[in-house]
Amino acid sequence: MINKLRTILTSKLPPGSFIRNVVTLMTGTTFAQALGIIAAPLLTRLYTPEDFGVYGIYMALVGALAICAGGAYEQAIVITDQDDDALNIMALTLLISLIYSLILLFLFNIFRYQISTILNVLNYKNWLWLVAIGVFITVLFQTVTYWSIRIGQFPRLAVRQFTQSTLTIGTQLYSGYSLSGGLLGLFLSSLLGQLVATGLILMKMIKEDLALLYKHIKITNMWRVARRYKRFPLYLVPAGLLNNLASTLPLLLLGYWFNPHTVGFFALSSRILVIPTQLIGNSISQVFYPKANAAYLTDKLTEITLNMLVYLVRLGLVPFMLFIFVVPELFGLIFGSEWDVAGKYCVWLGIFACFRFISSPLSSIFVILGKQNITLIFDLCSLSLRILSIYIGNLLNNDMLAIMLYGLTGAIMYLLAIYLVIIFSNISLKDVFCLTKLEIQLAVLVLLLLFVKDALSCSCTFSIVVSIPIGLIYIFYETSKHNLLKGGSYGKD
């Protein structure tokens, strides 16, 4: 089914073009996110906010620890010159991550009581060992993903997204209905979905590239590439850890300073808001990275980065603002009345998610230009501000204040990241503003109306009535200019 859908959508797009590759990736991601959206109202009625809170803490631990597991060497797979070097980087990454995960498994078993006490999840201490398994599977997934990107096998990634989403959500629903729910169902469904999906793509890779694997992977070659790309673990591991902690540490701190229910509200809000990034942003990132690297080698980085920045602003700015305008009143209706608070969280987290959506695909520019040290400093500042935001909320015993400060500081930092990309890519700010003038004006208008709505305590009807004409103006303008179909002017690439 996924192959037929991909064929239909890409049949009239130029082979190898930017937008064709993005659409190829999006076929799997679109199905995955559509299934997640459909299942979300069911899952929130099968599992409690506490269940989602503890599950969010588990995912936060896996995400943070996985950053260090492979030494960030997997990110060099795309940019290295030779295929044999890329294969040895893959082998090196998996070897390091296997040893790392075994050490984690030992530590989580020995110190499970102390760790679960700190995280305020003492009742679930016997399940901590699952984190180590999740870390290794995550690194395995990232490694085969980067290899597939390198050789242009985007259909593999689309199939992987389809498989992972179907298995994960299907298992969660089955566990909730037939096994009376519970955290173990959430944990195991996540591991099963990722393991099977990654295993399928790994077997296909081994089958097609076995000769290369056997011929080139050697210990001496692994040691050589480890030394050649030593800047990756030196800079990208700390930077990646800080960047990941900036997203996941709030879950841990909210659990420590508040309670698992607060973590659950935050986790659901984040899960909904990350959908555009997972649906579109990640696909754009995976295609843009090699394109930008090639453009840098031919002195065309400024043009390609400007086009991509403008495309992302046009694609995300107004839809995100309209979403946060209408979402507070709809959250409880869709997910159940006990999730009303999560809808209020979405307003502040939505502003942050908007600029993250625009910034994230452009972050590869720092790696391409060798600015890993800037990334490290930036991520350190971002993490510090987010910790401070939640700490202030804790001091005043106000979770909403913590979320508000977290969202605003995150938005400011991602705006700064966009500015740094503009500077390092030699892009004119005037060009950016001229090309995105209408989108910026509409976004400011929506934000002003949001404050008016809150001040006057307007109803859900007001939100819908106001958002419809703004949305129609946006859609008419973008479609009439074909702005969202040009793919950042990569159609002929």
Taking alpha carbons only, the member of 136, 129, 130 closest to residue 108 is 129
Per-residue pLDDT at 396: 92
Per-residue pLDDT at 214: 63
Other residues' Cβ atoms within 10 Å of the Cβ of residue 80: 17
Digit-coded pLDDT (tens) for 144-156: 888 777 776 666 6
Taking alpha carbons only, the member of 196, 194, 217 closest to residue 59 is 194
Per-residue pLDDT at 402: 92
Which residues of the chain are under the pLDDT cut of 50? 1-14, 16-17, 485, 488-493
Cβ 146 vs Cβ 108: under 8 Å: no
Per-residue pLDDT at 486: 53
- Cα distances (angstroms) measured from residue 128 to each of 108, 110, 131, 208: 6, 10, 6, 37
Cβ 280 vs Cβ 315: under 8 Å: yes
Per-residue pLDDT at 490: 43
Per-residue pLDDT at 392: 94
Cβ 2 vs Cβ 159: under 8 Å: yes
The mean predicted confidence, pLDDT, of the chain is 78
**DSSP state at residue 48:** -
- Only one residue has tokens 């107004």, namely 318
Per-residue pLDDT at 32: 64
Taking alpha carbons only, the member of 216, 247, 275 closest to residue 91 is 216
Q: What is the pTM of this model?
A: 0.66
Q: In angstroms, rounded to a whole number, what is the distance separating the alpha carbons of residues 352 and 174?
A: 34
Cβ 362 vs Cβ 352: under 8 Å: no
Per-residue pLDDT at 5: 45
Q: Which residues contact 276 (CB under 8 A, 6 or more apart)?
A: 316, 319, 320, 353, 357
